[in-house]
Amino acid sequence: MADTKTLSGVRYSPAMDEKTHEQTYRGFVRFVEIATGVVICWVLALAVGGIREAWLTAILGVVLSSVAGAAGALAPGIGWKAPAAVAVLLALYLAFA
């Protein structure tokens, strides 16, 4: 838990590991970004299946978004951009097919 006895603007107390804390926070934020992109892809895939009745395309979209999420998690440079690309493809299919 956070130490509530310190003044605002003061750095971490010596008992806290600043580097590990910051790495954990960055990892959590990165996970939330990627997971949000994958969930958006799943919603779009369900819309493609339900509205366009293209369930094989919807299944392919779910599989691609899962692979893109894993790639984004393993490659920090890619991050949320991989699931976003799949989301754009699913949205285009939903709009124009």
User: Do the beta carbons of residue 44 and residue 91 sit within 8 Å?
Assistant: yes
User: Do the beta carbons of residue 6 and residue 52 sit within 8 Å?
Assistant: no
Instruction: Write down the residue that tokens 């493609």 correspond to.
Output: 48
CA distance 19 to 55: 46
CA distance 61 to 20: 36
| Residue-by-residue pLDDT tens, the chain, 97 positions | 555 555 566 676 667 788 888 999 999 999 999 999 999 999 999 999 999 999 999 999 999 999 999 999 999 899 999 999 999 999 999 999 8
Q: What is the pTM of this model?
A: 0.82
Tell me which H or E stretch contains 54.
none
